[in-house]
Chains A and B, each alone.
Chain A
């Protein structure tokens, strides 16, 4: 029997509100399936499960707030022990958050067909609109299912449940809460991480010429943005300087289990989030572009997945669209590096004994001096530069 626990979706997350289950007892799940929606200060996140099996019971009901590490559901895994997925954020958080253990019954009774009432989509929507906790509503529909009318009746008679700290809703972001999370993470970063900063100006003529020629051959639906080239170049440069990719936990460097590039995305309502594109070094440029577009759109719509929130091994921030010439970022702990790009600016450029005008971009590296030094950081930026001179290989 395994336990599906409240994941840590960031170094400073201590608890989350279960918004909704995507599975029922008896459902078969496999690693990577989205099984629950959890609300955090970063919005409502689709939480994936990291072991395969059959959902035995749902321990926590929608609307309940539980600490990181607390069991949310029990999973029958055919005798296999529960797999606890290491999460760098969790490693930090779980030390200070003792999750109450919810033990599975020693002899589990056969699971009922469903512990969760059936709720029509319209009823669920009305519940969200009216802030009604579905778990407190008695259904009068077919087989006890909850109808929109039941929700409206419940809203009229509603009394807040003592155990319900937030309605099961996918309401908008609490920007104050998100600002507090950013403040905590950045203060911790500045307090604990000895940053060093390097910058390099990169000639983007080859990259932009190649991109223009490539985009001219493509339909608009397959168009590439230069940010995809930057992300690919960063990922491939990491292969040469791997010490900028991973985490520093308790003063010890733990290399990333892959090259998962977090992309800093500003949200339209304000705030910032840096979900990751997984295994960027193993993907094609088209895949990275597709992933990036999808990630930005889902981040802004509030549909990110837990693995995207917690798996980033390095962060890239591109503030060029905001007209910024260069950016010296604050590392997102426990990561050990952040790469910043400014806007593309035409500059006088001397090359091959000739002076010309080139489109250039300032690339910067903020890195953790406990893990790497300026020499290696410099090698990293040199590699990024070199890779961008051969865009066709990206």
Chain B
């Protein structure tokens, strides 16, 4: 995979979120707040979000790390550390 920078990873995260919750205005997401408090997503949606990240970035996010990706900032930071970054 080509190296990705932070903004590209953020783009991937937002795209995965958009696929799960197409009605959400992604611009309005507060990056420091829990996504589940801002978007009406259930456990199936969250799994689909994790599967979406896996599909795009080939990252296997273990269940035990889910708490680290519950905010947009946390998710981007976590993925920066896990994928090959520019």
Answer yes or no: do A and B interact: yes
Q: How many residues of B contact A (CB 8 A)?
A: 17
Q: Which residues of A contact B51 (CB under 8 A)?
A: 220-221
- The residue of chain B having its C-beta at the shortest distance from the C-beta of A268 within the complex is B23
- Interface presence of A284 (CB below 8 A): no
Scan B11-30; emit 1 where CB is below 8 A from any A CB, else 0: 00000000001110000000
In whole angstroms, what is the CA distance A194 to B54 when docked? 48
- Could you tell me the distance in whole angstroms from the C-beta of A341 to the nearest C-beta in chain B? 12
Q: A220-B51, A221-B51, A268-B22 are in contact. Are A292 and B63 (CB under 8 A)?
A: no
Alpha-carbon distance A174/B22, docked complex (angstroms): 18
How far is the CB of A292 from the nearest CB of chain B, in Å? 7
A215 contacts the other chain (CB 8 A): yes
- Cross-chain contact A223 with B63 (CB below 8 angstroms): yes
| Residue in contact with B47 in the complex, picked from A212, A293, A322, CB distance below 8 Å | A293
Please, which residues of chain A bring their CB within 8 A of the CB of B43?
A: 225-227, 321
Is the pair B22, A216 in contact by a Cβ cutoff of 8 Å?
A: no
Instruction: Report which of B23, B44, B62, B64 forms a contact with A293, defined as CB distance below 8 A.
Output: B44
Q: Which residues of B contact A226 (CB under 8 A)?
A: 43
Decide yes or no: A268 and B60 within 8 Å by CB, A221-B54, A223-B47, A297-B48 being known contacts.
no
Q: What mask results when residues 271 to 304 of chain A are scored 1 for a CB within 8 Å of chain B, else 0?
A: 0000000000000000000001100110000000
How long is the Cα–Cα vector from A216 to B43 in the complex, in angstroms? 17
* Interface check A219, CB cutoff 8 A: yes
In the complex, chain B residues whose CB is within 8 Å of the CB of A296: 44
Asked whether A269 is an interface residue with its Cβ less than 8 Å from the other chain, the reply is yes
**Nearest-CB residue, chain A, relative to B42:** A321
Q: Are B64 and A216 in contact (CB under 8 A)?
A: yes
Known: A220-B50, A221-B54. A269 touches B60 (CB 8 A): no
Interface size class of A (residues with CB under 8 A): 10 to 19
Complex contact B61–A268 (CB within 8 A)? no
Q: Which residues of B contact A216 (CB under 8 A)?
A: 62-64
Q: Which residues of A contact B22 (CB under 8 A)?
A: 268
Which of A220, A225, A268 is B40 in contact with, Cβ under 8 Å? Answer: A268
- Smallest Cβ-Cβ distance to B61: which chain A residue: A220
Given A212, A221, A225, A266, which contacts B64 in the complex, CB threshold below 8 Å? A212
- B61 — which chain A residues lie within 8 A by C-beta? 220
Q: Which of A206-230 contact B (CB under 8 A)?
A: 212, 215-216, 219-221, 223, 225-227
CB contacts (< 8 Å) of B48 on chain A: these are: 293, 297
Residues of B near A227 (CB, < 8 A) are 43-44
Q: How far is the CA of A223 from the CA of B44 in the complex (A)?
A: 11
CB of A292 within 8 A of CB of B44, answer yes
Given A212-B64, A215-B63, A268-B21, is A220 in contact with B44 using a C-beta cutoff of 8 Å?
no
Q: How far is the CB of A42 from chain B (nearest CB, A)?
A: 19
B45 to A: closest C-beta gap in Å: 8
- Shortest Cβ distance from B3 into chain A, in angstroms? 22
Whether B23 and A269, one on each chain, are in contact in the complex, defined by CB atoms closer than 8 angstroms, is yes
Distance between Cα atoms of A119 and B47 in the complex (Å): 38
> Which of B47, B50, B54, B64 counts the most A-chain CB atoms under 10 A from its CB?
B47
Complex Cα–Cα for A193 and B86 (A): 63
CB proximity of B60 to chain A, nearest CB, Å: 5
Chain A residues within 8 Å of B40, by CB: 268
User: Of all chain B residues, which has the CB nearest A218?
Assistant: B63
Closest chain B CB from A133 CB (angstroms): 28
Q: Across the interface, name the chain B residue whose C-beta is closest to A266.
A: B42
CA A268 to CA B17, docked complex, whole Å: 13
- Determine the residue in chain B with the shortest Cβ distance to A226: B43
Residues in B whose Cβ lies below 8 Å from that of A292: 44
- Evaluate contact between A225 and B23: CB separation under 8 angstroms: no
Binary per-residue interface labels of chain B (45-68) against chain A in the complex, 1 for a CB within 8 Å, 0 otherwise: 001101100100000111110000
28 contacts between A and B (CB under 8 A): A212-B64, A215-B63, A216-B62, A216-B64, A219-B60, A220-B50, A220-B51, A220-B54, A220-B60, A220-B61, A221-B51, A221-B54, A223-B47, A223-B50, A223-B63, A225-B43, A225-B44, A225-B47, A266-B42, A292-B44, A293-B44, A293-B47, A296-B44, A297-B44, A297-B48, A321-B42, A321-B43, A322-B42
By Cβ-Cβ distance, the 3 closest A-B pairs, closest first, are A321-B42, A215-B63, A296-B44
Residues of A in contact with B (beta carbons under 8 Å apart): 212, 215-216, 219-221, 223, 225-227, 266, 268-269, 292-293, 296-297, 321-322
